[in-house]
Amino acid sequence: MGGGGLFEVKIDEKRPTLVIDTPPPYPSGRPHIGGIAHYAQIDMIARFFRMRGYNVIFPFYADRNGLPVEVQVEKTYGINMYEVPRERFLELCRKFLDEYEGEFVSIFRRWGGSFSYWRNGTDSEEYRRVTQETFINLWNKGLIYETSRPTLWCPRCRTALAEAEVEYREEDSYLNYIKFRVKETGEDIIIATTRPELLPATVAVAFNPGDSRYKRLELARHCSSVKPGSPYCVTSIG
C-alpha cells in the first residue's frame, strides 16, 4: 500500500493488527454527504483501534472495476465502447478513474479520514496477480463450476448485471389474461400476468391443491414431460 501520508501503515510485529475491508466507492458521481457519513463510521472504528494500540490497515481508493466506469466514460465522451478500439477505451477509463480517484482522495483527506491511499488499489498489477492466483487455486480445488442460471442481463451494455446495479422504475402497464391449455385434460385455464414477455419460458402453472376452484386440476398434477415449447401443463406447488 503506497501513497504516504500521516496514516501510512507501519506494522509493529508485537502489536495485533486490524484490517478494514473498505468498500471502495464507485465512479458513479461526485462524493456526497451520505457517502462521507458512511466512511466516517469506518474511520471511527479505525481510530478507536489505533488508540487501543493496534496496527490498523485502513485502505482507501476508488473501485476501478468494470461496468460503472465504462458507463461513465461512454456518457462523458458520448461514445460506445463497441465502436472505439479497445486500447483507446481502456485508456479513457484509466484517465477517467485517475481524475475521479484524485478528487475522491482529496475530499476524503479534507474531512479528516484516517485512511491510507491505496494507489491503483484493485487495478494494480499486484492485485490482478493475487485475484488471478486465487481464482486458479479455487479452480484447482474444484470449487469453480460453470452452469446455467437466471441472471439480469443488460442488452445495451451486453453483460450480466449485479442486482446492486439495477434501479427499479414504477411503470403503468397492462394486466394480460392468457389462456393456457392443460395438456392432460385439454381444458383451458386463464392466468393473469403483467409479464407476458416471460411466456416463452413458462413450462408449468402452479396451483393450490387446497383451493376448491382448482380442485379439478388435480388430475393433471405432476406432469413429467415438461419441455419448453411443449403444450403447457399444470403442476401443483410443493
Least distance (Å) between residue 191 CB and Zn ion: 31
Least distance (Å) between residue 118 CB and Zn ion: 28
SS3 content of the chain, % helix, strand, coil (to 5): 40, 15, 45
Extract the runs of DSSP E, i.e. beta strands, from 58-149: 59-60, 116-117
Sign of the dihedral through C-alpha 170, 208, 148, 224: negative
Q: Which is nearer to Zn ion, 9 or 67 (CB)?
A: 67
Q: Pairing relation of β-strands 17-19 and 55-57?
A: parallel
Interface mask toward Zn ion for 153-192; x: CB under 5 A: -x-xx-----------------------------------
User: For residue 9, how many C-alpha atoms fall within 13 Å in the half-sphere facing its CB?
Assistant: 21
Write out the binding residues for Zn ion, residues 131-160 only, by CB under 5 A: 154, 156-157
Least distance (Å) between residue 23 CB and Zn ion: 22
Q: Which is nearer to Zn ion, 40 or 81 (CB)?
A: 81
Q: Which is nearer to Zn ion, 20 or 157 (CB)?
A: 157
Residue 57 CB neighbour total at 10 angstroms? 18
Q: Which is nearer to Zn ion, 77 or 139 (CB)?
A: 77
Which residues sit at the interface with Zn ion, rule CB under 5 A? 154, 156-157
